[in-house]
Amino acid sequence: MKFAVWIIAIVLVFGVGFGAGFLFQRGDHTAYVDTAKLYNDFEMKKELEQKVTEVQLSRKAQLDSLKINFVALSKKTNPTLEDRTKLQALESQYHQMQQQFEADNGKIVQYYTNQIWTQLNQYIRDYGKQEGYTYIYGGDGSGTIMYAQEKRNITPEVVAYVNARYKGKGK
């Protein structure tokens, strides 16, 4: 009799344990990442930002040197007809270049931003799959997540993961 009671007790304990484990497993495993921080801490973003800055600085230098010539010519006290024609040409060239550079700068920023988000999204998908998340929300301050417990913030882990993946490590 005593033996049967023990058996039933053991079966009950294991049954409840397995049931709870099963339910817990099925429960949604969710977390969020601070997307602004993730984006800013992503190595690829820093590298491309550096590239864009270099391109923009070199373009600005070209424009500045053109402007110096243009200003110097415009300050001439008794400009000849040739000077005026040259001045007009320089002015037109300056504005044309300025417009071209502004358009190109916008395009290059857009091109790199798309590259960064394509890679980030892929790495976050891989991270979610690898860590068994049901959802990973993006908390970008625009109302996607109004509140979350701090322990649900996985931004530091995701930043470390995406940077390792970008460098070619792991899977």
Partner 1 sequence: MMRRMIIGLCLLLAGMWEIGCQHSELSVADYQKWVEQEDNPTLIQDKTMGDLIFSAKYKPRSYVAMLHAGTTQIPPLRLQAMEDSLKGYEYFTFKIAHPNHNTELLKLNLNQQDEYFARVEYYSFGIQNDFFLISGQDTIPCALSHFERTYGLAPHATFTLSFECQRKVHEPLTLLYNEKVFGLGLIALRFEAENLNKIPSVSFF
What does the buried/exposed string (b/e) look like for 126-151 if buried means 16 or more CB atoms within 10 Å of the residue's CB? ebbeeeebeebebbbeeeebeeeeee
Spatial CA neighbour of 137 closest among 111, 84, 149? 149
Q: How far is the CB of 50 from partner 1 (least distance, A)?
A: 13
Q: Is 154 in the site for partner 1 (CB under 8 A)?
A: no
| Among 69, 98, 105, 119, interactor with partner 1 by CB under 8 A | 119
Nearer to partner 1, 32 or 45 (CB): 45
d(CA 101, CA 165) in angstroms, rounded, equals 33
Q: Near partner 1 by CB under 8 A, which window of 10-18, 28-36, 86-94, 119-127?
A: 119-127
Q: Is 94 in the site for partner 1 (CB under 8 A)?
A: no
d(CA 102, CA 121) in angstroms, rounded, equals 28
Q: Is 118 in the site for partner 1 (CB under 8 A)?
A: yes
Nearer to partner 1, 98 or 113 (CB): 113
| Among 70, 101, 133, 166, interactor with partner 1 by CB under 8 A | 166
Q: Is 124 in the site for partner 1 (CB under 8 A)?
A: no
Q: Is 115 in the site for partner 1 (CB under 8 A)?
A: yes
- Going by the DSSP 8-state scheme, the letter that residue 142 receives in this structure is S
User: Residue 88, exposed/middle/buried by CB under 10 A (0-12, 13-18, 19+)?
Assistant: exposed
Nearer to partner 1, 73 or 108 (CB): 108
Q: Is 116 in the site for partner 1 (CB under 8 A)?
A: yes
d(CA 139, CA 146) in angstroms, rounded, equals 8
Nearer to partner 1, 51 or 76 (CB): 51
Q: How crowded is residue 163: how many other Cβ atoms within 10 Å of its Cβ?
A: 16
**Token output for 40:** 């800013």
Binding interface with partner 1 (CB under 8 A): 44, 47-48, 111-112, 114-116, 118-119, 122, 126, 165-169, 171
